[in-house]
Chain A
């Protein structure tokens, strides 16, 4: 019996080694590997009381982003949290904002000109790059589930 015990231990522990390795990979891999130079992107945003359309904008990190703001009823503005850029558009006068999206993450867009009672709720979102934290969290949760299953699975043999 002793002669077979050591190999069984090794066989039993290799899934743990794999899981720990996967955790390290998922949590710390510097993704994404820099893709080819992203092209400039122009987004046309229509603002009316009290919403932006589209309200969520996705861009690549490092991309040159141009936001064309069109106010369709009263004077509206956009303030990009985190970046600190602001534009104000009058109806009939399209305003443009061009900047390099060098910070990755998710940033709040707010109307920067008081435009009525629900003005504080006139918000949008700028997503720069892939939401790495989100995907890493998903990967780690799956692994945690797997590890839990392995720990508490019913042991039939021996």
Chain B
């Protein structure tokens, strides 16, 4: 009798412990190990209890593709959280506070497994492949604009122009797949717009681009840009962020003719930094030559896939599709003046 009771208590106790066990995850700078452990698995619907401890500097914790708020992890202040996944799949959890040049490498995986019926369910709702793939855009091909404006195009100037446009220019699909310089050329060839100057056509392009976004989306894009992109691409978009000096230094040391040149960074000699192979200087979003030759689908593709061998992280498992489009919309503000646009949203 006692044996049966004891067995019963053990089984119940083990199940209770399993459901209530807390997994302690340590966060360290990526050079010192990143997340430990970095692989977790949990069943659909079962609570995943985590205790997050930072061992060195300020880190953050968030799970990609979800709406959960990011948690800040300060050294000496462990944070506990409970996650419940309602859909199976591979989720990426990542650091949200810049903790060095390799900050973006600080990622881990949570594998959520479920029974066959939910699996089946998720298979039917698999998101389609990203737009750049459907459009067969080569993300690594140069995309120089063949024409650039004399001065920054202003979206609000279009109100005064008062022109009638063929409907195709207003379509979302047209915007997504077209580079501004191509749009400029198509508009230039429209007979109804022959009276406009080249710069006025550019204002028109800017206002078409502005039509495809909203004040809220731009705000969301700015927030994402500031927290995730500005450290390298710069707060003004000029590619001169605080991390760029490390990337520039590594690019300089790897160029064959620059072996003896002094790296322009500030870190002390003897300090070794692992950045990866052949990084390049971050893209300057204020440069019209490259930006106006890129379509929104191309920019989104670069964000999702990352730059092959450039040091640009891949954000596909982190950002939702809406977030990537918000970012792309915000990137155009480095080219187009969207101020004082009257919106009827």
Contact = CB atoms under 8 A, between A and B. Distances in A.
Interface of A: 48, 70-75, 90-94, 113-117
A74 B242 contact: no
Contacts of A48: 266
5 contacts: A72-B243, A90-B97, A92-B243, A115-B58, A116-B56
A113 B58 contact: yes
B242 A114 contact: no
Contacts of A117: 56
Nearest to A73: B100
A93 B75 contact: no
Given A72-B245, A92-B226, A114-B76, 19 more contacts: A48-B266, A73-B101, A74-B57, A74-B99, A75-B98, A90-B227, A90-B231, A91-B98, A91-B231, A92-B229, A92-B230, A92-B235, A92-B241, A92-B242, A93-B227, A93-B230, A115-B57, A115-B58, A116-B56
Given A90-B97, A92-B98, A74 B226 contact: no
Contacts, number: 64
A116 B75 CA distance: 9
- Central interface residue in B76, B231, B243, by most chain A CB within 10 Å: B231
Nearest to B232: A92
Contacts of B58: 74-75, 113-115
A155 B242 CA distance: 70
A114 B243 CA distance: 20
Interface string B85-102: 000000000000111110
A113 B245 CA distance: 23
B242 A75 contact: no
B57 A72 contact: no
A74 B98 CA distance: 6
B334 interface: no
Interface residues of B, number: 25
A73 B243 CA distance: 7
Contacts of A91: 98, 103, 231, 241-243
List 7 tightest A-B contacts by C-beta distance, closest first: A92-B231, A92-B230, A91-B98, A75-B58, A72-B242, A91-B231, A114-B75
A116 B242 CA distance: 19
Contacts of B101: 73
B53 to A, nearest CB: 13
- Central interface residue in A48, A70, A72, A116, by most chain B CB within 10 Å: A72
Nearest to A72: B242
A72 B99 CA distance: 10
Contact of B235 (A71, A94, A113, A114): A94
Interface string B59-80: 0000000000000001110000
Interface in B103-161: 103
A117 B74 CA distance: 14
Contacts of B29: 74
Contacts of B241: 91-92
Contacts of A113: 57-58, 74
Contacts of A75: 57-58, 97-99
B74 A90 contact: no
Contact of A70 (B227, B229, B242): B242
A71 B74 CA distance: 16
Contacts of B231: 90-92
B235 A93 contact: yes
A114 B74 contact: yes
Contacts of A71: 98, 242
Contacts of A92: 98, 226-227, 229-232, 235, 241-243
A96 to B, nearest CB: 12
A116 B55 CA distance: 9
Nearest to A93: B226
A27 to B, nearest CB: 45
A55 to B, nearest CB: 14
A73 B76 CA distance: 20
Contacts of A116: 56-57
A93 B75 CA distance: 21
Contacts of B243: 72, 91-92
Contacts of B75: 114
Nearest to B267: A48
A53 to B, nearest CB: 9
Interface in B209-258: 226-227, 229-232, 235, 241-243, 245
Contacts of B227: 90, 92-93
Interface in B266-294: 266
B300 to A, nearest CB: 21
B291 to A, nearest CB: 20
